[in-house]
Amino acid sequence: MSRRRNRHTPSRARREPKRPRDAFVRRPFEALADEPEWVALREIVPAATAPLTLTPSTADRYGQRPATLATLLPLAEPAMSRTDGRVLVALQRDGQSGDVNRDIATALLAALAAEPGAPVDVPAADPDGPRLADVIEDGPLDITVHERFDFWLDDQAGADPAVTASLERANASVYPTARMAATRAAYWCQVPERAHLRWVLAEPEEAALPALARVSAAGGMKLDEQTRFAGMFRAHGLLVPVWDLPREAPAGQWEEPLAAFAKRYAEALAVTDDLTPEERRARQGLIGRQLTLR
């Protein structure tokens, strides 16, 4: 199943760079204040939701309809307009353009424009159209991790056999997942053979990789002696370290070890000296241990 802010800072405070039409955007969520959580919800969390607050201009145009960000929706739909007026927009969907951010904004606007309970017809994203910062108020996401996808259901969805069948398939594939408190964008999950902890780092790779190399050279990559640093992968331009954990140990057992690692990592980020030969070798070792997400 895995693939893959609360008052907010006004979106006008951030100016996004102009990009060529149809250009692939390597870090599509870079302009958002909670970039690592957007990446985590798109790539590593099976079932989660977070409320979204529309910008005043969006609310004026479409009305004050409650909007919710969801990891996945029935039948992999990009968005839903529910009978009670609420709208949901999915993060885990195939991109239609080179900019995932713009695709999601387009789907959200299409859902807001649809009548309550009506199917949502999502057009192709306009290369010059709005992005998320133009549509929603920016800030930290208030995330709820769910054990099942029952949040899909309302009276209409519950009566739809296709949605019911999709719900059963989705629920059967969900593995236990917990959001860690020690740092943002870190998630524990339990799969059949083991458990994992994955942390989406906020810093760009050119800063994160040398810091990880310093930690590695100092022997600090394990969370504790029961754990193994499995490697890391890239997701939407950010690095995601992964640890293998004992399967039966609960998520809460790793809060203190993760906090200690986050402290080591932060201290390494603050170092501005060139990497030592040992740290350069550690960096090459980390590059050699890159994982495939899928």
Which of 122, 149, 173 lies at the terminal end of a domain, its last residue?
Answer: 173
Looking at residue 46, its pLDDT comes to: 96
| Pair 187, 100 in one domain | no
By DSSP bridging, strand 186-190 and strand 195-199 are antiparallel
User: Which residues in the chain show pLDDT less than 70?
Assistant: 1-22, 155-159, 292-294
Looking at residue 48, its pLDDT comes to: 98
| Pair 137, 185 in one domain | no
Q: Which residues contact 282 (CB under 8 A, 6 or more apart)?
A: 213, 214, 216, 217
Looking at residue 288, its pLDDT comes to: 87
| Pair 211, 159 in one domain | no
2 is a domain residue: no
Nearest C-alpha neighbor of 157 from the set 120, 123, 109: 120
145 is a domain residue: yes
- pLDDT, one tens digit per residue, over 272-292 is 999 999 999 999 999 988 876
Q: How far apart are CA 235 and CA 3, in angstroms?
A: 10
DSSP letters for 41-82 = HHHT-SSEEEEE-B-HHHHHHH-S--EEEES--GGG-SEEE-
Looking at residue 60, its pLDDT comes to: 96
In 194-221, which positions are buried (b, 16+ CB within 10 angstroms) versus exposed (e)? ebbbbbbbbbeeeebbbbbbbbbbeebb
| Pair 33, 152 in one domain | yes
5 is a domain residue: no
Structure tokens at 210: 């040398």
| Angle (nearest 5°) at CA 258 between 252 and 263 | 145
The residue type at 229: F
| Pair 121, 259 in one domain | no
| Pair 150, 186 in one domain | no
Nearest C-alpha neighbor of 253 from the set 263, 243, 266, 265: 243
As for how many domains the chain has, the answer is 2
Domain extent at residue 87: 11-173
Looking at residue 16, its pLDDT comes to: 45
293 is a domain residue: no
Looking at residue 163, its pLDDT comes to: 82
| Pair 37, 152 in one domain | yes
CATH number at residue 194: 3.30.70
Q: How far apart are CA 265 and CA 162, in angstroms?
A: 47
90 is a domain residue: yes
Looking at residue 293, its pLDDT comes to: 54
